[in-house]
Amino acid sequence: MAMYEASKEFVSKALSLLSEVGDVIELNYPRDQLRRTVDLALKVKNREAVLLKLAYDAELVGKDEREELKGLSFNLKLNALIVAERRDGAKLVEGVVYDYGGSKLVSVDTLLNSVEGNYPTIYEEKDEFKVKINGEAMRSRRTLKGHSLGSLARAIKVSRKAIYDYEHETIRPTLDVAERLVRELGEDIVAGIDVFGPSDDVMATSTPSLGTKPESPKEMLLARKLEELDMGFCHTRKAPLDFCLSRGEFKALVTVPHGSEKPRELSNKIRNMFRMAEFIGSRSFVVTDGSPSIRELSWLDNALTIEEFESILGEVVAAATEEDNRDNRKARNREDNTGADNSQKRQ
């Protein structure tokens, strides 16, 4: 009980602090905060939004919530973080991006410092702590110091190949190796981990998640349709949506009324979905066959049948396929032109 009270206090304090540094939308579906996948979305200084799950201790975030968080992150191309004070009872260190069951975990201070541009530099990978290195800066400092690959390798007590790989950013040094590199070359070689940038490879989800398994017949039918259309998606049970979709530049949040929800509960879910979609720049849809709960939502006038929704997705897929074909044609033309230029040079 003490941990749950501590978590309630932590969530309230974190919300207050984050609201002071950026635009925040708080999501309140499901009502039980401990069963919720996403508590809020945060956007600062014209950066991409990030999805956040708040918990006093990360162990309060269950596997389902973590899988859904990873699925949302991958499909929406947004970073999604668990923000906590502790993990398994131990206090989180500021400036470190932890791994928790494949989800990224940071302290409130780490996130607040990142807002000011003071990004973390240390991250956890497969039970090891590593440091992100700027390969170009490392190569420049090595040359300035008069080191060859081999001489630096001997000074740092690693292989020549390791130095080569650090400079090409194909691997990252462990914390102890990074400390020796910094002593030899200076702190300029260390790179920050942009927790707001979805392209940062440290933050990217290496194993995309499909979220939780669809259970209702309506959801299973829609999942089959999405697979047939080759549409990327994840399913959620603990977020204000049932499906998150992506194909090319198209992103969408979808709610599929199950028929068993009370109108008030369903209304809260859909309103939260609409707010979330608008905040992150995604489209949103309600797909139904006229369930009783939907009919009682007089304010909702744009629900679609599954056939209407499938038609919209078909147009999205056709447009994305045409764009892919154009990109492929351009790539082939560049290759053909490069080959012709090389042939002329040889002559």
Rounded Cα distance, 92 and 95, in Å:
9
Give residue-wise pLDDT tens across range 136-160. 999 999 999 999 999 999 999 999 9
- In the prediction, which pLDDT does 334 show? 74
Banded model confidence at residue 14, pLDDT cuts 50, 70, 90: very high
Q: Are strands 232-239 and 241-247 parallel, antiparallel or unpaired?
A: antiparallel
Phi and psi torsions of 45, nearest 5°: 45, 50
Phi and psi torsions of 85, nearest 5°: -100, -30
> Which residue did the predictor score with more confidence, 260 or 35?
35
- In the prediction, which pLDDT does 294 show? 67
Mean pLDDT of the chain: 90
Q: What is the dihedral of CA 132, 136, 140, 143, to 10 degrees?
A: 90
* Most confident region among 107-116, 290-299, 302-311 by mean pLDDT: 107-116
The 10 Å Cβ neighbour count of residue 217 is: 10
Residue 165 near residue 34 (C-beta atoms within 8 A): no
- In the prediction, which pLDDT does 13 show? 96
- In the prediction, which pLDDT does 332 show? 75
Q: Find the mean pLDDT for residues 233-248.
A: 96
- In the prediction, which pLDDT does 233 show? 96
- Does pLDDT of 127 surpass 60? yes
Give residue-wise pLDDT tens across range 165-184. 999 999 999 999 999 999 99
Give residue-wise pLDDT tens across range 18-65. 999 999 999 999 999 999 999 999 999 888 999 999 999 999 999 999
Q: What percent of the chain has pLDDT over 90?
A: 72
Q: Find the mean pLDDT for residues 253-273.
A: 89
Give residue-wise pLDDT tens across range 77-87. 999 999 999 99
List domains and CATH numbers for the chain.
2-118 (3.40.1350), 131-189 (1.10.260.40), 217-323 (3.40.1350.10)
